[in-house]
Every structure is written in C-alpha cells, then in structure tokens.
C-alpha cells in the first residue's frame, strides 16, 4: 500500500505544476479532497495541503494584487513549499 502522505504530495505537485492540464489539476484536487474526507491524511497535513493549494492558486491568479501574491509566497516559503 502506498504512503498517503506521499500520494498527497504528488497530488499537490500536480496541482501546482504549470504544465499540468486543468482537467488533471481538477482530478488531483478531487482526489486530495477525498483523501482528506476519508481520514487518510491527518488533520494537520490536510489543513496544510489546503493552505498551500489556496496560496498557490493566489499566485497564479492574475486578479490577485502583488501585495497579496507576496504574502502568499511568504506563507508558502514558511511552510517549506
């Protein structure tokens, strides 16, 4: 059986990869959410994954201010991502 933490990290990598299709990112996000809801990830890891996903999305969103992007980048660096 594969390690749920490793699977989650792979899914997060797919979500943040600019070369991944939007369809694949959506599937990865759905799978990550399923893992969280089923309890395969501990709550701390699940929360951290959601925080990272949100901040990575903010960095890619052209409607987000530069100040907000800088904040998101700092949060991701603090989380080691």
pTM, rounded to two decimals: 0.52
Tens digits of pLDDT across the chain (81 residues): 477 888 888 999 999 999 999 999 999 999 999 988 888 877 677 778 888 989 999 999 999 999 999 999 999 999 887
Number of other residues whose CB lies within 10 A of the CB of residue 77? 9
Taking the C-alpha atoms of residue 22 and residue 24, their distance in angstroms, rounded to an integer, is 5
- Residue in the block written with tokens 């969103």: 61
Neighbours of 20 (CB within 10 A): 15
The CB density around residue 8, as the number of other CB atoms within 10 Å, is 21
Please give the share of the chain, as a percent, with pLDDT higher than 90. 60
């Amino acid at each position: 059986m594969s390690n749920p933490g490793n699977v989650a990290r792979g899914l997060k990598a797919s979500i943040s990869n600019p070369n991944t299709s939007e369809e694949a990112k959506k599937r990865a996000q759905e799978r990550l959410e399923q893992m969280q809801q089923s309890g395969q990830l501990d709550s701390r890891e699940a929360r951290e994954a959601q925080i990272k996903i949100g901040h990575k999305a903010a960095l890619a969103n052209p409607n987000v201010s530069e100040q907000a992007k800088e904040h998101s980048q700092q949060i991701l660096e603090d989380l080691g991502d």
